[in-house]
Amino acid sequence: MCGIFAVIGAQNAAAELYVGLVHLQHRGQDAAGVITFDFNDPDNGIKISKNIGLVSDVFSEAKLLTVNGQMVQPLP
């Protein structure tokens, strides 16, 4: 089972999404991931970050700083 939580228009949307992911974690605790879109990226702007484990294991504060974008959505 999965949950959906999205953030749009935030400067560092991944940091805000982290809080939402923690609250949805009870719906599926085997993995966590996000897709981000950076409007300022000259390439396609889409980045994927995911791994097996709890949200707190997959996304440390240092990792969240590298997940850039103004729009984010968790992976199902």
Length reported for the chain: 76
The residues assigned a catalytic role are: 2
* Rounded (to 5) percent helix, strand, coil in the chain: 35, 25, 40
* Integer Cα distance of 48 and 72 in angstroms: 10
